[in-house]
A and B are shown apart, each in its own frame.
Chain A
Amino acid sequence: MNHKLLLIDDDRALCGMLQNYLSQESFDTDAVYDGESAIETVFGNAYDLLILDIMLPGQSGFDVLKTVREKSSVPVLMLTARGEDVDSVIGLELGADDYLAKPCNPRVLVAHIRAILRRSQPDAFTHGADEPLSVGDIELHPQSRTVLREQQPIGLTSTEFTILETLMRNAGNVVNKHDLSQIALGRKLAHFDRSLDVHISNVRKKLGFVAEEHNRIKTVRNVGYLFSK
């Protein structure tokens, strides 16, 4: 079964060519050209991934992302203008799974799409360990990709889920941030890349704020992160 993607970009010519390209990579791609119709289409259909350009006429990509995230945890790959680091950080904070600088190499785009889809597929990544994990009041179900805190479900994006899962599997041990980047983002961590930090901070927020010293996910400076038992 082909994955269904939605491309949200105001450059119609580019969308047309990308649809063509992605179809050859066996993706079914729809395209919309503005924020309003994007939100409509997302909520009216079931997509496996959104490719969202930040620069949109009218409602910006950030607005779209915010609205989408209110109701859905569908994976989102964000296209930002190259060099606009601030954009990527804001996007990640709003819950995007990853970002890619535009203009991008279509091959790289496909690689990113596949990486995100792989993470969001329950059966692809769990290494057969389907038993629920439970640390403290947090319960994580790899099979259904759901997280419960005190029996209340928490909505995590697939990247956030993968990060939490990795940390919980290694609870009590430090997970190197380079390894975590490789697993959760599917790429090498570059200097000054704050993507991982932003994702971690999102996860912390969603797990509920606790005082720094009791934080479930601890930062080990210059090394990585630790989920405390």
Chain B
Amino acid sequence: MYSFFWRIFLTFWLTILIVELFTAWFAVRLSESEIHPILEKQNQIFVADSNRAVAVLEAEGLRGLREWLQRASNLQAIDEIFVVNQRREEINHKPLPDNITDILGDTHADPPLPDYKPIKYILTSKATAPDTEEYLVITTFRDPHRASYLFAPQRVAFGVIVSGLICFLLARYFTSPLNKLRRSTQTLMTGEFNTSSIQNLRHRHDEFGALAVDFEKMAARLSDLLTAKRQLLRDISHELRSPLARIRVALGLVRKKHHADDSDELDRIEREIERLESLISELMMFVRIRSSNTAESMTNVDIRELLDHIVEDAQYEKQQDRSKNTIKLHCPPGIEVWADAHLLHRAIENIVRNACYYSPEQSVIHIRCEQGTDDVRIVVEDFGPGVPDDMLEPIFQPFVRVSSAREEDTGGSGIGLAIAKQVIDVHGGTLTAQNKKEGSGLIVTLSLPVRRRARGANSSSQAA
């Protein structure tokens, strides 16, 4: 999720670092001609200082030289000074660099000439101290060269850190409005039309500000459309009820008039009316779940108790049925979730019904419940035909059927699973379906988040 951020950050940073490097390199190249007189002067000072060091040693001995060296102004052009006695020992026991040891191999070697290249050069002079001891004074030239100055580790580190910081802030500046927009989109996806997270963004007078304004308009429009859709659904359902109520009474009257209490056709009409009615009330329910305020009706629900009821009911219905399925419940006692008991009952019931409906005769439906660390999972497993993989998600949409053949059956309303999905969404859980890996069958997994125990431990007590 940070990839865009990192890409901007790294690109900028790398670019700046490369630019820094080249600038430094060019600076060194360009300034070499200018540095020439400086070097010249430095060299004169170096030679003079080296000679003075030798003079001091010859006049005042080692102690005098040490005192002379204390004064830093004498070492402006001298980087290091080595004083070696005849036994080739450095008098201050300073370790001798390799290039100096090389020189000592041949004491008569001429000192190398300064060539103004960024290398250190060395001056060697013989000196006889007042106590007639002979010494070799070796001085190395302090190179005022820019390159070493520019590429000093602390300078490099400073450049890297400062440019890194700037790039980091820059990348954040670019990506933070994007992240805000993204968060808004995510809340939008959950069906909440709350654009408060891009409130500040709106006041920006740039492209991001314009985007935020557009986004808000889009959210408002979506919200309107969805509300209108719900309202329409609700109105239609409502308006359908009046004629249905009349049909029902009219049917009752027909039965009375013709003394037709056992007419197959009239029974059929009655059954179809009932189906229409249940379809309408399911639709109403579907529309209402989202708009209803579930917060009030939330209690601690004992899953075992709930599942027992559902299985009991389903078994009872199965008795009237010929399919003779059995439902096996595996649920440890004492698992509780914070939920609207009525809605949750409805959701799980719909899933179980669906499983029963598509199960072959005399098969088993397993309902398992397990407590995870942060969720409670209820798994309903059947031995039915399963659904094609591309239908695993759409089956939770209203009126989506896997195959048209099933539509003929007098089965569910077609929105049972959609209601279940809606309910679980409202509870902040997830509902997913998958096919069995071995054999046929569908596994529907319902996961509900575990809330930390809400206040009111005996919230399950009935208000009677």
Residues of chain A whose beta carbon lies under 8 Å from any beta carbon of chain B: 11, 13-14, 17-18, 20-21, 24, 81-83, 85, 101-107, 191-192, 197, 200-201, 219, 221, 225
Contact = CB atoms under 8 A, between A and B. Distances in A.
A192 B464 contact: no
A81 B270 CA distance: 19
Contact of A17 (B253, B288, B461): B253
Contact of B245 (A11, A197, A200): A11
A13 B247 CA distance: 11
B401 interface: no
Interface in B287-319: 288, 309, 313
Contacts of B249: 14, 17-18, 21, 106
Contacts of A13: 246
B250 interface: yes
B309 A105 contact: no
B464 A200 contact: yes
A14 B252 CA distance: 12
Interface stretch (B104-112, B198-206, B277-285, B421-429): B277-285
Interface string B222-257: 000000000000000010011011101110110010
B238 A191 contact: no
Contacts of B246: 11, 13-14, 17
B160 interface: no
A112 B463 CA distance: 26
B59 interface: no
Given A106-B248, A219-B462, A221-B461, A14 B242 contact: yes
Nearest to A9: B245
Contact of B345 (A191, A201, A225): A191
Contacts of B342: 85, 192
Interface string B353-382: 000000000000000000000000000000
B463 A197 contact: yes
Contact of A219 (B238, B277, B464): B464
B341 interface: yes
A212 B396 CA distance: 46
Nearest to B460: A221
Q: Chain B interface secondary structure, helix, strand, loop or mixed? A: helix
Given A197-B463, A200-B464, A106 B345 contact: no
Given A11-B242, A103-B244, A103-B277, A197 B252 contact: no
Interface of B: 238, 241-242, 244-246, 248-250, 252-253, 256, 270, 277, 280-281, 284-285, 288, 309, 313, 341-342, 345, 461-464
Contacts, number: 69
Contact of A221 (B238, B245, B309, B462): B462
Contacts of B252: 21, 105-107
Contacts of A192: 341-342, 345
A81 B245 CA distance: 11
B256 A83 contact: no
B176 to A, nearest CB: 44
Contacts of B461: 219, 221
Contacts of A83: 281, 284-285, 288
13 contacts: A11-B246, A14-B245, A24-B256, A81-B238, A81-B241, A81-B284, A82-B281, A102-B241, A103-B244, A103-B245, A192-B341, A200-B464, A221-B461
Contacts of A106: 248-249, 252
A24 B253 CA distance: 9
B111 to A, nearest CB: 105
A104 B245 contact: yes
A19 to B, nearest CB: 10
Given A13-B246, A85-B342, A103-B245, A20 B238 contact: no
B253 A103 contact: no
Considering the complex of A and B, which 5 residue pairs feature the smallest CB-CB distances, nearest first? A103-B245, A106-B252, A219-B464, A17-B249, A83-B281
Given A83-B281, A102-B245, A201-B463, 11 more contacts: A14-B242, A14-B249, A17-B249, A83-B284, A83-B285, A103-B248, A104-B245, A106-B248, A106-B252, A191-B309, A221-B462
A194 to B, nearest CB: 8
B241 A20 contact: no
A225 B462 CA distance: 12
Contact of A82 (B250, B270, B277, B464): B277
Contacts of A81: 238, 241, 284
Most buried by B among A101, A105, A221: A105
A95 B257 CA distance: 36
A207 to B, nearest CB: 14
Contacts of B248: 103-106
